[in-house]
Amino acid sequence: MQTFNIHEAKTHLSRLVEQAAKGEPFVIAKSGKPLVKVVALDAPAPSEARRLGFMAGQIAVPDDFDSMGGAEIERLFGDGA
């Protein structure tokens, strides 16, 4: 694994990031002391990514969902409690 000082890493950051994305990690050092290791992320492929609405049409919400249990709530927490 290659090591680059901060100045060199800043100068060649685009190239170094491309290399890391292709599976060639590198280390950034300051005054010869290793500080960070740059590696590619294990992000899912676009076809594997979860998407919003993936269960559309599979779940039914009743029309009275917002008022369900209203009488019970009124009984428990209403003025007469």
Q: What is the CATH number of the domain that holds 19?
A: 3.40.1620.10
Residue 33 lies in a domain: yes
Burial of 9 (0-12, 13-18, 19+ CB in 10 A): buried
- CB contact at 8 A, 17 and 36: no
Q: What is the pLDDT of residue 39?
A: 94
Interval 51-79: pLDDT, tens: 788 888 898 888 989 888 888 988 899 87
Residue 55 lies in a domain: no
Q: What is the pLDDT of residue 10?
A: 96
Residue 28 lies in a domain: yes
Structural domain count of the chain: 1
Burial of 58 (0-12, 13-18, 19+ CB in 10 A): exposed
Residue 25 lies in a domain: yes
The sign of the torsion formed by the CA atoms of 41, 9, 15, 25 equals negative
Interval 13-63: pLDDT, tens: 999 999 999 999 999 999 999 999 999 988 767 777 777 888 888 988 889
Q: Which domain holds residue 19?
A: 2-38
Please name the residue ranges forming H helices in 12-69.
13-21
Residue 81 lies in a domain: no
0.75 surpassed by pTM: no
Residue 43 lies in a domain: no
